[in-house]
Structure 1
């Protein structure tokens, strides 16, 4: 979800990193959606050259994606059959990922050598690089040039781990016509119509631009060689070595943000389970996530990929912490009261963890901590009751269940409602003589989380702006480590937006 303050924060990040002109183009794309170069020139009142250069900067740093609209199906007139010129789409998530570069580098530092870290640093700093550019960068300031084979070997390691990928297609052709997609299910003599959530234009463009799985993480897929250096079985089209090198040097590479966010999500899942239950349950979860990481279809997986009990036990016992666990203890950790494996999956001898439930619990904990700090213990008890029960309660019920002073409950409820933490409805209560209204209170989590996220963007914007102003004035930052505060705040942003 992109909230108003989220857009302001994203524009601030672009302003800080690339200046006012690039930020102006970015802001206009946020407010008006995909536009062509001519439309941007006309509306932003910048010159053609200024807009063009701004777009090139955004594309170079993976903050914008060009695409071409496909001809409308069934169009009779020539205008309907013609493709619209190249349009430009700003990528909100990738802009926010710029905050997380230190976290991404830390992940790679913990798993790979300095050469791999240097390659990622270059990609994060410059956005997109070819192998030749990586070699030139690695050789800067050194007496002897770094061999291409050395850089190539390090890049292959990053490709195998899927933290680096080929850049998206330059101008994918995308249909921008949205139709209602429905499926029909027969229930006896009746048919039930189930509406599927339509893809957004951003989702369609990104999906069309991502390289096919065969080449996305492959160094020389076109020449029959995998990223890990093993030869493919089909080597009938292998070209000469010179041609191979030339092709390699033309390929543009970039950091795979999706894989880094998946890693950070897994870390949050692990810590949430460890805090709520114990180290053993968290170890089981971690082993399952690591075993299925490469076959997850998307970052926001609601359930883990199903695994048999034998496979789960094998994967857990591969880990150092898992070697101390018995099979019974591992199976107990998978139970409905812990990792939430559904009975249906267990019956079929396959265990799938309810990841969505774990994330929701972590979100609830985050919001409850905000309520406690901002409104006090009594408000926290009220909010926690409504959040856990997930249903409407009247004022008297809330007072009775929380044991909060009956005179204080309406005041606290009003404060929470005013700040969008609670949802309220008036319900008519018929009486013997007169009908009266009573107020019914509930936590609407979907709306609440959006409000909390927007508030977090607002706080992040203010904090980042202050840091930027102090830096511009060459002031020494105050004793409070604001950069660390921003990283901590970003952890919460990811919990509500990316995970």
Structure 2
């Protein structure tokens, strides 16, 4: 059985009881799974995710869609890409429930389907087999919908934000379904032309995109795989899941092409007079009979194309990444640096592929700075000094002098600050000093050198180093010297990649606990007797939800902003 797409506007009506939390593995041990069809090992489709991250994703799916959908989703996260019958066998669910669960997961962009050829028997004919893979990042994005809504509301206004809610609540929608929802919310007062205008704003700002298709992948032979490996050791070999995501994504021209653009391309506008009329109708400046004529044109185009649209999570992640970088610049260099960096990031090409590297001209930066509160007082020399302070590089092109900055360096600084803050809260000031020193050093350091630099007593320093090493925050090497009356020497280092993964797993664990507390408080509020008790539980829940959002900011640093 193959499921390639759906248009279910809502979620299942039933909400079963919460699933029990999976058992926690030993500290520093991550659950490694094997993709049966790709032959590679990973923790999720595209990024390393520990058991706590998987448990948190399953808890989100249980809260949003119930036990059955969460069980199918957990199976795909833990086992990798599977066929329909494999999912049914591993989950031990009836085929009907597996089908409905996959429809819901695809509808809400949590699962991507793709097809591959499969040979039947030895030397037998090949047939097309459809595989389903869970998209872990999209599952985690479901707890960030309030942040996405706030971004659009601040950028495009309340009406566009209300239109975005349809995609956040119901997943994939056609324009007709979106217009029906808007008409229902407005009591039938919403005009199709107005809804179309707001929809095109979302598309052109890249907050909404066209849904990907179901790609067909030709599997490489053993000779092609071996030759590809020998071609270049520096090139990273893509998994079949990554190739499927790349093949499924439409081109940028189609991905962010609005309804009016489609009407123009399909020949709905045949002369200059009709084109001018359509633009005036979209602006609301034509008479009533022309509005009705426009509605007919829109309806004709929509019925012809029947395109599914969805929220573009990549754009929202970039907006949140910009917010984190600006906040870091403000804390390190002041408000002026925050204004200049924000102007630099907003003035760069919105279609840029490398979101870790932004480039813009001085004129564009100055124009953005002048439009910011407090930016009028910044002179040209002041802006240049701030760009140099931020570490921007100058590059000369035919269009003129450009300023560029590597956002990855700023995110790395944010991760250092977050990890040091965690060490400070968990182990105290002395451990924070040791960890900060080793982070800035970036190499193996002798125990005596650590003691001399941090001004700690030898026994206390050794105790802290041992504790941090036992909890996987430090990497230790033991050398046997047999000189100077000493048989062995200990060297210490912060191995950032491993520590960042350990910190991320710790944060997923904290988010999991907070989410469970929120569910407990909500259940207690529903069965509470007095109004005073219910109000108290409601306030506690709001505090926990705010804590979860702050924890999510830290999770994004280590999980979403690193790519």
TM beyond 0.5: yes
| Aligned equivalent of 1:355, options 390, 396, 407 | 407
Task: Report the alpha carbon displacement of residue 343 of structure 1 after superposing the two structures with TM.
Answer: 6.8
Matched, 1:204 2:248: no
> Against the structure 1 CA distance between its residues 202 and 83, is the aligned structure 2 distance closer, same or farther, given a 3 Å change threshold?
same
Match of 1:277 in 2: 333
> Against the structure 1 CA distance between its residues 317 and 230, is the aligned structure 2 distance closer, same or farther, given a 3 Å change threshold?
farther
| Aligned equivalent of 1:482, options 536, 544, 547 | 544
SS of residue matched to 2:113: strand
Residue correspondence of structure 1 range 22-421 to structure 2 within 5 A: 22-69=69-116, 79=124, 82-140=126-184, 142-169=186-213, 171-175=214-218, 177=220, 179=225, 181=228, 194-220=233-259, 221-225=261-265, 241=297, 243-247=300-304, 250-298=306-354, 301-305=355-359, 307-335=360-388, 338-342=389-393, 349-421=401-473
The whole-number CA distance in structure 2 between the counterparts of 1:479 and 1:318 is 38
Q: Compare 32-41 and 466-475 and name the one that shifted more.
A: 466-475
Task: Report the alpha carbon displacement of residue 279 of structure 1 after superposing the two structures with TM.
Answer: 1.5
SS of residue matched to 2:506: helix
> Against the structure 1 CA distance between its residues 411 and 106, is the aligned structure 2 distance closer, same or farther, given a 3 Å change threshold?
same
Matched, 1:469 2:531: no
For normalisation by structure 1, the TM-score amounts to 0.87
Contact 2:116–2:218 under 8 Å retained in 1: yes
What's the C-alpha RMSD, in Å, of the aligned pairs?
Answer: 2.9
Q: Compare 460-469 and 389-398 and name the one that shifted more.
A: 460-469
> Against the structure 1 CA distance between its residues 230 and 328, is the aligned structure 2 distance closer, same or farther, given a 3 Å change threshold?
farther
Task: Report the alpha carbon displacement of residue 89 of structure 1 after superposing the two structures with TM.
Answer: 0.7
Q: Compare 216-225 and 33-42 and name the one that shifted more.
A: 216-225
The whole-number CA distance in structure 2 between the counterparts of 1:287 and 1:275 is 17
Task: Report the alpha carbon displacement of residue 147 of structure 1 after superposing the two structures with TM.
Answer: 2.1
The whole-number CA distance in structure 2 between the counterparts of 1:329 and 1:413 is 44
Match of 1:188 in 2: none
SS of residue matched to 2:149: helix
Contact 2:479–2:489 under 8 Å retained in 1: yes
SS of residue matched to 2:358: coil
Task: Report the alpha carbon displacement of residue 144 of structure 1 after superposing the two structures with TM.
Answer: 3.6
Contact 1:272–1:358 under 8 Å retained in 2: yes
SS of residue matched to 1:218: coil
The whole-number CA distance in structure 2 between the counterparts of 1:427 and 1:345 is 50
What does the per-residue CA deviation read over 1:458-499, in whole Å, with 9 as the maximum and x for residues that have no partner?
111111122123323425437541111111111111111001
Contact 1:219–1:225 under 8 Å retained in 2: no
SS of residue matched to 1:150: helix
Match of 1:187 in 2: none
5+ residue gaps in structure 2?
1-47, 276-295, 529-533
Contact 2:117–2:129 under 8 Å retained in 1: no
Q: Compare 112-121 and 137-146 and name the one that shifted more.
A: 137-146
The whole-number CA distance in structure 2 between the counterparts of 1:321 and 1:104 is 26
The whole-number CA distance in structure 2 between the counterparts of 1:222 and 1:183 is 44
The whole-number CA distance in structure 2 between the counterparts of 1:216 and 1:325 is 38
Contact 2:395–2:404 under 8 Å retained in 1: no
> Against the structure 1 CA distance between its residues 487 and 311, is the aligned structure 2 distance closer, same or farther, given a 3 Å change threshold?
closer
Match of 1:445 in 2: 496
SS of residue matched to 2:458: coil
Match of 2:288 in 1: none
The whole-number CA distance in structure 1 between the counterparts of 2:116 and 2:189 is 45
The whole-number CA distance in structure 2 between the counterparts of 1:16 and 1:440 is 46
Task: Report the alpha carbon displacement of residue 350 of structure 1 after superposing the two structures with TM.
Answer: 3.3
What does the per-residue CA deviation read over 1:23-62, in whole Å, with 9 as the maximum and x for residues that have no partner?
1111111111111111111221111111000000000111
> Against the structure 1 CA distance between its residues 430 and 230, is the aligned structure 2 distance closer, same or farther, given a 3 Å change threshold?
farther
Match of 2:555 in 1: 493
Task: Report the alpha carbon displacement of residue 88 of structure 1 after superposing the two structures with TM.
Answer: 0.5
